[in-house]
Structure 1
Amino acid sequence: MAGTAAAQSQVTLTVTVVNQDGDPLSGIDISATWDGGAGGPSNETTRANGQALIDVPEGADVMLQIDDDEYVRNVPYVVEDAEAESIEVAVSESATATVNAVTADGQPAENARIRLYRDGNYVVDRNAGSDGTVTTQPVEEGEYSVIVTKPGFYRNLTTVSITGETTTTVQVSEGSVLLQAEVVDDHFNDSRPIRDATVRVESNSGFDGTVPTLSDGTASVSVPVNDRYDVTVTKEGYETVERRVSVAEDETSIDVDIRRTPEITLSPDNRQVVVDANVRLTVTDEYDEPVANATVTRNGTEVGQTDADGEITATVPTAGNVTFTATAGDLTTTTNVTAFRPGEETTTGGAAQTPEPTATETTDGSGPGFTVGLTMAALLAAAALARRRR
């Protein structure tokens, strides 16, 4: 099978190593490996004609590496699906580069990232130390793109010709850009902007800024360029949301969806009822929407589940405080209802109380609380007395 070394038969690769001008080179050490480095190595040295014969498994993907003090390849040469064939491997005279990254005031750009790019490959990708300097391993002579980046600084791209031992200095400048967060509650069909949410922006390089959202749900922070930020959005009654965002050198916007902290509420239609009367209880969620199939208990005994409207009706069989509890998933809430017998004192919160007078009774029998029946009886009695006196 192509790309594997499953077949055990061997084939011979005729490898010719040449310099930049196409001239064959002798005395160049070649190391061949396959199966992702698990197979081999098979080591050979080029002869006077620049050739080396290397036996490898047929059909293998073979990687050829050059080991020489004078000549190098930036990347290994790969032979796919090896068969008996002739291959020309070009090498270049080796060189090194020392790249000094500095800030606008000439100070070392500590921990700057320095990369050398050529022919579609990053040949070097390292972080400078406190001195802002990177010295490369031996690389091919030629022109390279040198890219220097550092959090809080604009990216610098420079072309450098590397020969022998080359030293170059690259300057980076500080800069900032706007990072805007738009915070909305996406519970609704049309997401609603959230005002006065707190947006905190932090980075590992030390930036820390906090701003509130405006009426349109947006908050903008000026942040250093070319860095990654942790954005945390908080608001009372809402769940905290965290986002990680990379900011380059252009204004960056992110959308943050938040929702209210999950909770349920249990509400009775009447908090004082007569013993054995029914009370209707309604369970709603954090958006005041009905919660169906919530389990409701009365003093610990289940009385049923809420319907599609989040409602359930239960009796209150005993006098005093009765505790109703609703459970939906891992959310629980309770409420109390006080039951009393007509004419008896009730107890609310441990204190004895007399039921409040209704529209048809008063506490002293005189006043606007007289019933129509009592008033009519008094009128009839007065009329009878008048007739007897005639």
Structure 2
Amino acid sequence: MNFERLTAVGVAVLGTVFLVAALAAGGAAGTDVTLTVSVVDQDGDPVGDVEVIATWETEDDETRTATGTTASNGKVFLDAPENATVELDVDDDTYIRNRPLTVEEASESAVDLGVVRSGTATVSVVDTEDRPQADARVRVREGGRTVDSGRTDESGAFTSDRLERGTYELRVVKPGFNETIQEINVTGEANASVEIERGTVSLDVRVLDDHFDPPTAIETGTIRVESSVYDAEVTITEGTVSLNVPVNVDYTAEVVKDGYGAGSQMISVGESDVNANVTAQRTPTLSVTPANERVLVGETTRVTVRNAYDEPVEGVTVEVDGTEVGETDDSGELAVSIDEAGEREVVATDGDVTSEPAAITGVDEGGDANETDDANETNGSDGTGDSGETDDGSPGFGVVAAVAALLGAVAVGVRRGRGPD
């Protein structure tokens, strides 16, 4: 046997060893154990012909089940992963469990699964005037947990079909009514009548504008409060609203005020007085204010963009006659050049909101004299027309006019100094 063949045989043998080891490890990880489940009734007697369901979670968070039916001796064999947490339950018309039996760290073992004969409970719900109440929520509870629940039908009735026989707590509630609690003893077919009473509590609401930090009161306007059993719109007084509302209801509340956006908030009301805050903000807007309404062609003027709260807005796009010319700085301002005569339309937009247009008139230097003089007066760097300069510091017609006037005054003085010839 040559060296190459020996090498190949060695690799094959090693591969087989690794494969066997891997299969062995995998088999160990996936080992099943058999649970011997004995179903017995409340007297300890075996119960045959009952379907038993085993449920567990895999390492991948998937739910797996195994089922089987008991023999006449009440036993059934179910396989489950070793060391898994397994829940055992029954599915039967005669016998029932209110909750599954949990088996921790499953192993080859025998498990007794107790069952009892099922009973029924029919609950009739009425108000204080003995009128049936539909859509009331009924919860059947045992040991601090709910074993069944539902809502009453049009006749005010709810039936729990499959319960272990025993004593239960009934909790009944309906929007607008106080919760009522009473007991019911289920021995077969049990019936109970439950009376519920209407109730109200105080709801005090503070109305706030949370644009500010901390939020400030919205002093005027109204609050609309709505639910399936209540609807009202109440005037805001000094930033607050007080109402008397039905109990056990979820309400939606919203601020109704000019200039504010509509946005509802949920307020849950139980059987105690409630204090709540309802917030709103102004409807987003942008406005453009030019420093000068008339600008010489070729010169610039600054525009300021403000939001609905009259605050300067940074990073807003400014357009002149539909053409983007730049974005506002941290003071909400941008220098805009006017390159043509006539009225120019300036708008600001942030992508969601666009301002109303502002007009700036471009005035040609060679245009009408009065028009030019008016333009000169409005083109001072501070917007007052006193400096005779445009916003960028370039001399305008105001300087020219002043020089001309000075020269004229000097000429008059010279003539007067000379006297008559």
TM-based fold match above 0.5: yes
Match of 2:317 in 1: 295
Deviation at 1:322, TM superposition (A): 1.8
Is the counterpart of residue 104 in structure 1 residue 125 in structure 2? Answer: no
Q: Structure 1's 93 and 41: CA in aligned 2 closer, same or farther, altered over 3 A? A: closer
Equivalent residue, structure 1, for 2:343: 321
Which position in structure 2 is the counterpart of 1:24? 45
Cα distance in 2 for partners of 1:121, 1:206 equals 29
State whether residues 198 and 212 of structure 1, in contact with CA within 8 Å, keep that contact through their aligned partners in structure 2.
Answer: yes
Return the alpha-carbon distance in structure 1 between the equivalents of residues 353 and 126 of structure 2: 57
Equivalent position SS for 2:70: strand
Q: Pick one of 238, 243, 251 that aligns with 1:221.
A: 243
The match for 1:84 among 108, 116, 127 is 108
- Is the aligned partner of 1:42 residue 2:64? no
Q: Which has the higher strand share?
A: 1
Deviation, structure 1 residue 64: 3.0
State the match for 2:194 in structure 1. 170
Q: CA deviation at 1:339?
A: 3.0
Q: Distance in 2 between matches of 1:191 and 1:132?
A: 46
Match of 1:52 among 47, 50, 75: 75
Question: Where do 5+ consecutive residues of structure 2 fail to align?
Answer: 1-27, 58-62, 378-384, 387-404
Match of 1:367 in 2: none
Equivalent position to 1:151, from 169, 175, 181: 175
Q: Could you tell me how far apart the structure 1 residues matched to 2:214 and 2:187 are?
A: 62
Whether the 8 Å CA contact 2:290–2:301 is kept in 1: the answer is yes
Secondary structure of 2:264's counterpart equals: strand
Asked if structure 1 preserves the Cα contact closer than 8 Å seen for 2:135 and 2:151, the reply is yes
CA contact (8 A) 2:260 2:281 kept: yes
> Distance between the aligned counterparts of 1:344 and 1:136, measured in 2?
93
Greater Cα offset, 329-338 or 5-14:
5-14
Matched, 1:249 2:250: no
Which protein is richer in helix relative to its size? Answer: 2
Distance 1:164 1:141 in 2: 7
| Contact 1:63/1:77 (8 A) holds in 2 | yes
User: Distance between the aligned counterparts of 1:28 and 1:85, measured in 2?
Assistant: 21
CA distance in 2, matches of 1:275, 1:73: 90
Amino acid at match of 1:322: R
User: Secondary structure of the residue that 1:254 maps to in structure 2?
Assistant: strand
> Cα deviation per residue 1:342-362 (whole Å; 9 max; x = unaligned)?
684499xxxx999499799xx
Q: How does 1:340-359 map to 2 (within 5 A)?
A: 340-341=363-364, 344-345=367-368, 355=374
Find out whether 1:136 has 2:160 as its counterpart: yes
Q: Which moved more, 1:58-67 or 1:121-130?
A: 58-67
Do the aligned partners of residues 111 and 305 (structure 1) sit closer, same or farther apart at CA in structure 2, a change above 3 Å counting? closer
2:36 counterpart residue number: 13
Kindly indicate whether residue 214 of structure 2 is the aligned counterpart of residue 190 of structure 1. yes
61 and 356 in structure 1: CA distance in 2 versus 1, 3 angstrom threshold: closer
Given that residues 97 and 115 in structure 2 are in contact (C-alpha distance below 8 angstroms), is that contact kept between their aligned partners in structure 1? yes
Q: TM-score, normalized by length of structure 1?
A: 0.80
**Pairwise CA RMSD of aligned residues?**
3.5
Q: How many residues align?
A: 362
Q: Which amino acid aligns with 2:36?
A: L
Deviation readout 1:303-343 (Å, 9 max, x if unpaired):
33322212222333333212223333333333111233468
* Gaps in structure 1 of 5+ consecutive residues: 361-370
Equivalent residue in structure 1 for 2:300, among 256, 278, 281: 278
Between the two proteins, what is the percent identity of the paired residues? Answer: 31
Q: Is the 8 A contact 1:154 1:225 kept in 2?
A: yes
Of residues 237, 260, 274, the one that matches 1:238 is 260
Residue 210 of structure 1 is matched in structure 2 by 233
User: Which of 319, 322, 333 in structure 2 is aligned with 1:311?
Assistant: 333
CA drift of 1:137 comes to 0.9
Cα distance in 1 for residues equivalent to 2:362 and 2:95: 97
